[in-house]
Structure 1
Amino acid sequence: MLIVRPAAPTDLDAVLELARQIGPGMTTLKADRGALERRLEIASASFAGTAAPIECDYLFVMEDCATGRVGGVCAIKRSVGLDEPFYSYRLGTMIHSSAEANVFAQMQALYLSYDMTGCAELCSLYLHPDYRQGLNGKLLSKSRFLFIAQFPELFSERIFAEMRGYQDIDGSSPFWESLGRHFFKMDFQAADDMCGRDKAFISQLMPRHPLYTALLSEEARAAIGKTHVDTVPARRLLEQEGLRYEGYLDIFDGGPVLQAKVGDLRASRESMRVVAEAGTALAGVDALVSTTSMRDFRVIAARAAPEGGRLVLPPEQLDALRCAPGEEVVTMPVQPARAAGIRKQENSATFS
């Protein structure tokens, strides 16, 4: 059985090993032992409610209960851009027209934006290849939404996720080669590594004026808003939860930034509190089940058939959740109601 739980300082070696397996493009999970050690300390303080809001970083790991192995990691940063600028590009339109020349042209342009300042960020999602099967990826990614739905007061109105942008088979980024390289005078990997340590160089080197996309290479234009092949499944899961691409891009690789209002997230609308009971689970739908404690937040995937405000779970699942019969849990179908052919009954804690 797999469980998603808050990361602890004792997870340092396991998280570091996962970070070492990630290729270029994920600046929020670098294989830097010192930085990860500090991050795990902040995560512990965040879940304990003792970290300053500006530095809260809710880092989760997915643990294999049978072996104790950590097979995945994901995170929610409470707010970005408050201690150092957070940049993105906004894709917009400029109009060039001349009645005398009989020309009317719409030109796409990239505008440097700080619009995500103060928003919460979904980040650092990585699942080890050994665990990429069944519901594991959904459990890891979507567990964060149950956390947000239970503790919405921790977050601003809007939440977003930067998707890793398109890269060629050799790991190079067409978007970076056509744009960023001209201003930063370094390889994509070098810029990506620097961004993971200190973002001050971005404000010093980044062009601040609108950039016409027509001046980029054809390959770079094709990469705008395009997701890395390894990140396509993660994007699909986020879109199921209500996040959408609205024309914002990562400034380095041109990957899409997905966003949503917290109140519009599926977990905010479809999750429900029920009382846990021990027993033989009835036939139900694939669902996520979580505890209600922030300090000891835990999530599993289970077959769930809540009825009358109660949910029957096998003893081993209750043990994994560290939940006693009679305590409240929160549950939500893994698949959106429309996709799974189910709907939530009004005024009744039942999946049907």
Structure 2
Amino acid sequence: MIDDARYEIRGVTGDDRADLLELARFLDSVNLPNDAAAMEPIIRRSERGFSGTEGDPRRREHVFVLYDRQEKRAVGTSLIVGQLGRRDAPYIFFDVSKEERYSQTLDRYFVHDVLSIGYSYNGPTEIGGLVMHPEYRRSPEKLGMLISYVRFLFIAMHRQDFQSHVLAELLPPLEADGTSHLWEAVGRHFTGMSYREADRLSRRNKEFIRGLFPHGEIYASLLPERAREVIGEVGRETKGVAKLLQRIGFRYWDRVDPFDGGPHFVAPTDQITLIQQTKRAILAPGDPRPAAKRFILGRDIDGPPWFRACAGRCELLEDGSMRVDSAARAALDARDGAEISALPLP
């Protein structure tokens, strides 16, 4: 049985620190590190992003938490980075291209994958940091979908604050101990660092990448087979995410992470179907009809946590207003006349 009243999504606050660290154990990425010292500035940046204290939208970060009101703990998280790539922190990637070679003398033909490092100082909006606690991954409420979809609802609500394209970087196949075969074949030779060491350093400073990585082309043909196999491949744990992204308008961009080879999926912001489907309306009195469909509903609020969302039944009326069920109304703390944004759920 679906119990939407049990869960809410909101902006992260300092009260979620311990729960966020617990969730980080299942990912431990640049965006969600399993490190208390590194987590603190992420929470602070998110609070400044939601509150608008950070005046430049390109520098804003928004960390969402899915909160179990019954158990009183955050059980999922996701985030939006306003712009990936600035002068003080460039967006760094490997472009993956094909190069054809033919010898008439030998009648030999080859197609090589070629990696070329690139830097952007005016990159796309990034979505990432998607984690669900394992105990909640198969819930009837489809909680993983909710914490993923809320990012597109929020972008639609604040479209002017985000870039023309949205990027999602997916994890490639990694060994059980986190070893990246691409890093072992390339990055380690140019930095003398382990994958984990370089990943941690890149959270604070990316200068070493430009200073030490090769500026020319790298032929994947020269790399060990295990390294070649992970370039642009989606890891087993993220195959479901890749399918979702493709359904809503994302495509592999022939671009990968220079550390682990994880694929970059990109979509024009205004062509993402979930953003196109998001509607904004004024809350009308009364309950929706019994057959009303399930939506993810969200609104900005004037104080911490600055944003709230939940799932609930919603009816869009002919006059442009909407009715939502009483549980959703209470979760959003919304009265008649409040502005609500709604994204239909499958």
**Both structures adopt the same fold (TM-score exceeding 0.5):** yes
| 5+ long unaligned stretches in structure 1 | 336-352
When the two structures are aligned, how many residues end up with a matched partner? 333
Q: How does 1:211-230 map to 2 (within 5 A)?
A: 211-230=218-237
1:238-279 CA distance string (max 9 Å, x none): 333322112111111111111111111113311112333442
| 1:181 corresponding residue in structure 2 | 188
Q: 1:218 to 1:116 in 2, by over 3 A?
A: farther
Residue 210 of structure 1 and its aligned partner are, at CA, apart by: 1.0
Question: What are the equivalent positions in structure 2 for 1:129-144 lying under 5 Å apart?
Answer: 129-132=134-137, 133-134=139-140, 135-144=142-151
**Equivalent residue for 2:77, pick from 64, 73, 77:** 73
Instruction: Measure how far apart 1:294 and its partner are.
Output: 8.3
Aligned to 1:48: 51
Query: By how many angstroms is 1:51 displaced?
Result: 0.5
Task: Name the residue aligned to 1:342.
Answer: none
Q: Which runs of 4+ in 1 moved over 6 A?
A: none
Residue 15 of structure 2 corresponds to which residue in structure 1? 10
Question: Whole-Å Cα distance in 2 between the matches of residues 193 and 150 of structure 1?
Answer: 33
Q: Does 1:304 align with 2:314?
A: yes
What is the rounded CA distance, in whole Å, between the counterparts of 2:203 and 2:16 in structure 1?
A: 20
Select 1:333's aligned residue among 302, 320, 344.
Answer: 344
Among 90, 95, 100, the residue aligned to 1:95: 100
Unaligned runs of 5+ in 2: 1-5
Q: How does 1:1-352 map to 2 (within 5 A)?
A: 1-19=6-24, 21-23=25-27, 26-53=29-56, 54-82=58-86, 83-99=88-104, 102-115=107-120, 117-132=122-137, 133-134=139-140, 135-276=142-283, 277-279=285-287, 281-292=289-300, 296-308=306-318, 309-335=320-346
Cα deviation for residue 145 of structure 1 reads 0.3
Q: TM-score, normalised by structure 2?
A: 0.88
Measure the CA separation in 2 of the matches of 1:169 and 1:36.
24
Once the two structures are aligned, what percentage of the paired residues are identical? 29
Q: Equivalents in 1 of 2:94, 2:232: separation in Å? A: 11
Contact 2:10–2:64 (CA<8 Å) still a contact in 1? yes
Q: 2:14·2:43 contact (CA, 8 Å) conserved in 1? A: yes
SS of the aligned residue for 1:180 comes to: helix
Deviation per CA, 1:90-117, whole angstroms, max 9, x where unpaired?
1112233445554553322011122474
Deviation per CA, 1:17-63: give whole Å up to 9, x if none: 222x1345x22111232332222222111112121425311111111
TM-score by length of 1: 0.87
Q: 1:178 offset after TM fit, Å?
A: 2.4
Cα pair 1:65 1:320 within 8 Å, conserved? no
2:3 paired residue number: none
